[in-house]
Amino acid sequence: MTIRMTGMYSNMDTDSIISQLMKAQRTKIETIEKKKTKLEWKVDAWSTLNSKIYSLYTGTLNEMRFTDKYNKKSTTISDSTVATITADSSAVDGTQELAVKKLAKPGYLTGSVLSTSDSTTLSSSSTMSQLTGYSATGDTSFQVSVGSGAATSITINSSTTISDVITQLKSAGVNASFDSTNSRIFVSSKSSGAASDFTITASDSDGTNALTALGLNTEIEGGATKIDGQDSEILLNGATFTSTSNAFSINGLNIVAKELTGTSTDSSGNTIYDTVSISTSMDYQGIYDTVKSFLSEYNTLINEMDSLYNADSAKGYDPLTDDEKDSMTDTQIEKWETKIKDALLRRDSTLGSVSNAMKNAMTETYEIDGKTYSLASFGISTGEYFTTEENERSAYHLDGNTDDTTVSTEKDKLMTAIVSDPDTVISFFTSLSKGLYDKIDKNMKSVEGIKSVYHVYEDKTMASQIDDYEDKIDELEDKFTTMENKYYDQFSAMETALAKLQSSSSSLLSMLGS
């Protein structure tokens, strides 16, 4: 920072004078800075709105173009304790009979109680040599087999701890743990189903001795107990289906078995399985909710677009300089800037073009089986022009919608149409959605040097303008510094001249005085 000594001989406030002389140049810089700030705010406003348009475009609209969005199925089961049921769009309408014969379960082995030969308390760090009945010398082993996989050998000796055994069992592909409170080892398969079941066997007497000492021998009286893993089994319309879990996917039905159905015996001694009824039908409410949700999302967006377009003018309001902010409270600054930001897209031609394209798409008619349909055909229309708020005139109301007090008492034409002719309703809304999607898609295409793909506004043009403003500000700042230095040089020269004049006057007076 340059330190200047000014006004020493002239007694003039040089800094103040130069500041006034530079005021016009500083105003030029501030004018460009305000334009840059305003444009940056506009970019932010467009970016926020563009994200909402893009969300509708890639989300709801993208899905509603295809019939799968509407082809939902509703299912009920006569006894929900037996199974839970959901249905895909491919499920067949009608009633089906379900019986649950078996539930899937993992293999589970509960070891017998372990004890020590010296009556010490067992822990995971206890060794084989401490276990009652262990007599093998040197290394010995037993085998763990999971499903149809190769057997894994568990090798132990007298110094092997219970913790070591548990670790080896886990490595063999099963769950294993030691409960020190109950002095038992527990082993289970990692998943349900017969294919995941396991066996623990020994091929010689030493291995059998080790299994017995560890409480894992199921072949002796009082030894370990084993529950075999099994698949689940159901009967659907009399046909048998099995699964390694309790979940089934059959012809569009997703079934999760939870409880066995009852049984009885016929006169020949054959087992008869009780059944529960599964009813499947088109999900009319799901179709209705899809349309209702779409209208709500569209209304929220189009109302915001209209609010931005019809915003009150902010003429005479510009971004504040630091000096201007110094004389205002934070609340005053916030109100001032909000006034500007709210009006950034007022009467914006791009905004008007995009919103009009969307509105036009919503008024299109479509011919289906020789008849012409519009949104009004299904009780969907905008409000009365003169009784509706300006920025809500493009929003659509669904007759009979209990969430909309303006039309809640009207006849529900949409649900009536869905129940009586769902194919026509689906055909209309897939066409309408595609039309609106295409309108937005057209406005979101990239234009080289002007806007990026998936942008409805000219983001590249605005970015270029901001760069131009920054370059102009740098240019004016350089010019400002040069001009300011020039003024200081001129005043410095004047001070030097005054100093010389004062010196000459002093010398002359001194000579005359002598």
Ordered DSSP codes for 265-298: E-TTS-EEE--EEEEEEE-HHHHHHHHHHHHHHH
Judge whether 435 and 361 are in contact, CB under 8 Å. yes
Structure confidence at residue 507 as a pLDDT band (50, 70, 90) = low
Residue entry with tokens 């069992």: 169
Q: What mean pLDDT is reported for the chain?
A: 92
**pLDDT, tens digit, 9 for 90 and up, residues 365-392:** 999 999 999 999 999 999 999 989 999 9
Helix axes 422-443, 284-309, angle to 10 degrees: 30
Residue 16 has a pLDDT of 76
**pLDDT of 500 over the 90 cut:** no
**pLDDT of 488 over the 80 cut:** no
Residue 5 has a pLDDT of 47
**pLDDT, tens digit, 9 for 90 and up, residues 129-145:** 999 999 988 999 999 99
Helix, strand or coil for residue 198? strand
Judge whether 411 and 379 are in contact, CB under 8 Å. yes
For residue 250, give the H/E element and its range: strand 247-250
Most confident of 24-38, 283-297, 474-488: 283-297
Q: d(Cα 438, Cα 446) in Å, to the nearest integer?
A: 15
Cα angle 212, 126, 200; round to 5:
30
Structure confidence at residue 506 as a pLDDT band (50, 70, 90) = low
Mean pLDDT of 468-476: 90
Mean pLDDT of 170-186: 97
Q: d(Cα 158, Cα 126) in Å, to the nearest integer?
A: 10
The half-sphere exposure of 174 on its side-chain side, counting CA atoms within 13 A, is: 32
The encoded tokens of residue 456 equal: 């409805």
Mean pLDDT of 88-93: 91
Residue 474 has a pLDDT of 86
Residue 22 has a pLDDT of 64
Provide Rg for the chain, Cα atoms: 43
Distances (CA, A) of 180 to 108, 130, 186, 251: 18, 15, 11, 49
The encoded tokens of residue 90 equal: 């491919």
The encoded tokens of residue 73 equal: 């199925």
Q: Which residues, listed in sequence order, are joined to residue 131 by a DSSP beta bridge?
A: 116
Q: Which residues, listed in sequence order, are joined to residue 102 by a DSSP beta bridge?
A: 233
**pLDDT, tens digit, 9 for 90 and up, residues 449-462:** 999 999 999 999 99
Q: d(Cα 168, Cα 170) in Å, to the nearest integer?
A: 5
| More confidently predicted of 198 and 19 | 198
pLDDT > 70 in the chain, percent: 93
**pLDDT of 503 over the 90 cut:** no
Structure confidence at residue 508 as a pLDDT band (50, 70, 90) = low
Residue entry with tokens 């822990």: 123
**pLDDT of 476 over the 90 cut:** no
B/e letters for 14-24, b = 16+ CB within 10 Å, e = fewer, are: beeebeeeeee
Mean pLDDT of 299-303: 98
Calculate the CA 41 to chain-centre distance.
27
Distances (CA, A) of 192 to 11, 78, 216, 217: 99, 27, 21, 22
Judge whether 130 and 163 are in contact, CB under 8 Å. no
Judge whether 172 and 151 are in contact, CB under 8 Å. no
Residue 483 has a pLDDT of 79
**pLDDT of 4 over the 80 cut:** no
The encoded tokens of residue 420 equal: 């009586």
Give the 3-state secondary structure of 51-75: HHHHHHHHCHHHHHCCHHHCCCEEE
Q: d(Cα 382, Cα 395) in Å, to the nearest integer?
A: 6
Q: List CB contacts of 433: < 8 A, sequence separation 6 or more.
A: 61, 64, 65, 294
**Helix ranges, 156-277 (H):** 162-171, 205-213
Instruction: Please give the model's pTM, rounded to 2 decimal places.
Output: 0.74
Domain ranges of the chain: 27-68+285-443, 73-104+231-282, 108-227
Judge whether 302 and 296 are in contact, CB under 8 Å. no
The half-sphere exposure of 508 on its side-chain side, counting CA atoms within 13 A, is: 6
Residue 486 has a pLDDT of 79
Mean pLDDT of 259-278: 95
| More confidently predicted of 124 and 18 | 124
**Helix ranges, 400-443 (H):** 413-420, 422-443
Structure confidence at residue 1 as a pLDDT band (50, 70, 90) = very low
DSSP 343: T
Q: List CB contacts of 368: < 8 A, sequence separation 6 or more.
A: 424, 427, 428
Q: d(Cα 147, Cα 195) in Å, to the nearest integer?
A: 5
**pLDDT of 12 over the 70 cut:** no
**pLDDT, tens digit, 9 for 90 and up, residues 205-264:** 999 999 999 999 999 999 999 999 999 999 999 999 999 999 999 999 999 999 999 999
